[in-house]
Amino acid sequence: MKTEKYPKLTIAGAGPGDIELVTIKTIKALQQADVVLYDALVNKELLKYVPLDALVIYVGKRNKYHTYTQEQINTLIVDLAFTRGHVVRLKGGDPFVFGRGQEEKKYAEAFNIETVVLPGISSSIGVPALNGIPVTHRGVSESFWVITGTTKENKLSKDVLVSAKTNATVVILMGLAKLKEITEVFKAADKEDTAIAIIQNGSLPNQAIAFGTIGTIVEIAEHENIKAPAVIVIGDVVKQHDDFPVALSNLNYLFN
């Protein structure tokens, strides 16, 4: 006789990429999953923890290409929870940092589906830290902003304009395509000499990093062939990286 499975949703953060940075609770959830819906920036090695008879579906979004709309993902979660049981929604970074985790949680709860949230290491903090860049540092930065570079209207977030007027560290996710716009905002705030780092594929073996200032980073990122996904860190905390002075002196020839 077939046992009826109890509908459940676990929304889990997969961290910045390195599978050793995922939480034990997330691994346990994957091991108990009947369904896994995973995003584009999730390390696929994590899927080895999923039972062989579980349903695994890629629902990622990259740039303008969406395999499923958010509305379709919401519907999938509910349908599969009732027909298969435990759905694990695996998201890159932390599911509540630009991950739309709360939207999915509320949608599932509207159908009386039990939901659990498992935090993950956000790339906004974890990736700079792995590279020796603290988002706060005594005497340098007392606070930090985490901003999406691109809104749902595909425009630069207005918060970037406000953050540029502060002394806070500014971390911008999903903003590489708008790097020139971002630098123009900071130039207008008289921050042309402010340090900046762009970290591509943070925490992974193929990580790449570019250092510069607001006034030089567009040319440097192009020269270094930096691509998305990347984390942008703006502020004097970037100077805490041991290679910052060397990197700038090595790239002086670009501007002479």
Rounded CA separation 67/86 (Å): 22
The strand pairing partners of 57, in sequence order, are 37
Chain-centre distance for alpha carbon 28: 22
Q: Which of 61, 79, 236, 239 is catalytic?
A: 61
Q: Which of 34, 94, 174, 191 is catalytic?
A: 174
Q: Where are the alpha helices (DSSP H) in 120-231?
A: 123-130, 158-163, 179-188, 217-223
At residue 172, what are phi and psi to the nearest 5 degrees?
-115, 125
At residue 226, what are phi and psi to the nearest 5 degrees?
-75, 130
In the residue annotation, 174 being an active-site residue is answered as yes
In the residue annotation, 53 being an active-site residue is answered as no
Q: Which of 8, 39, 105, 191 is catalytic?
A: 39
CA atoms within 13 A on the CB side of 153: 4
In the residue annotation, 155 being an active-site residue is answered as no
* CA nearest to 90, candidates 58, 129, 48, 65: 58
Residues tagged active-site: 39, 61, 174
